[in-house]
Amino acid sequence: MDGVTRMRTSSRSSGGRTSRAARAALLAPGLVAIGVSFLVPLAWLARMSLNRTVGSAELQSAVSPQSYVDVLTDEFVWKIAWQTLQLGVLVTVLAIAVSYPIALFLARTRSRLRGLLMALAIAPLLTSSVVRTFGWLTLLSDDGVVNSVLSGLGVTSEPLTLTNNRTGVVIALVEIMMPYAIIAMIAGFGRVSKDLEDAAGSLGAGRLRCFLRITFPLSLPGVLTGALMVFVLTISAFVTPRLMGGGRVFVIATEIFDQATTTLDWPRASALSILLLFLFGVFLVLYQRLFRLVEGR
């Protein structure tokens, strides 16, 4: 009997080692790809940030924190950092608010057209953000569709300025970010059992009370995931603020581009990039703590 037990234990141990080896083999290609495509460029970026720029954009090899000191003591950098955070919060709130009812409908509908509607909701992801931004430039220009309709209805007597400013950037970014929010929140609604809502309804809870006490709280993890995705993508956006802002809306990404291509100050651009990545990390930690708090309710 002891021999049989030892054989079973040995078999399980061998199977466990084989399973771990198989998992490691499956993970290896992905880890190598991440190392080559992300960690290596990140290491180069960190090293570049420690160099110096002297004279007329002449790069001097060094190990100096001067670029970080210059960035952190520059009032203009703090100003655009604050503008970037404001833009991220505003776009996130609007995108989640607009996407929530759409995601709820798509998650709950039993229509035969559900697949088509789902495809339409995420179809914008198949189009480059550059193309969509140019589309919004056309729609929101002084002689574009939006101003033409408003003028034709007598709502406005002169064209509204909806491009080359923050308003146009927000409108375009909200539309661009909506598919990400919808996808994340549809997954979140999978946690909400329809039986709970039916039970609440049978006990006399109205639709609004049922939504506020059951549906919305249980969907919060999906909402938080969508909010994180939208916020991170917004504060790192470059194309839309550059094109829709017309060079008048400054965010961290556009400042990095200007430092690298206009002033040719690569150490400063690299330091800004590292600080932006650090900002991502801070918000990821905050998200994880908030997610655990919501999960523990």
pLDDT tens digit sequence for 97-129? 999 999 988 888 888 888 888 888 888 888 888
CA distances from 99 to 3, 30, 86, 227, 234 (A): 62, 32, 20, 11, 16
Rounded to two decimals, what is the model's pTM? 0.84
How sure is the predictor about 86, in pLDDT bands with cuts at 50, 70 and 90?
A: very high
In whole angstroms, what is the distance from residue 97 CA to residue 174 CA? 10
> Structural domain boundaries of the chain?
75-295
Q: For 164-181, how does the pLDDT look when each residue is reduced to its tens digit (9 = 90+)?
A: 999 999 999 999 999 999
With beta carbons less than 8 A apart as the criterion, state whether 88 and 287 touch. Answer: no
In whole angstroms, what is the distance from residue 239 CA to residue 191 CA? 35
> CATH code for 75-295?
1.10.3720.10
Burial class (CB within 10 angstroms; exposed 0-12, middle 13-18, buried 19+) of 201: middle
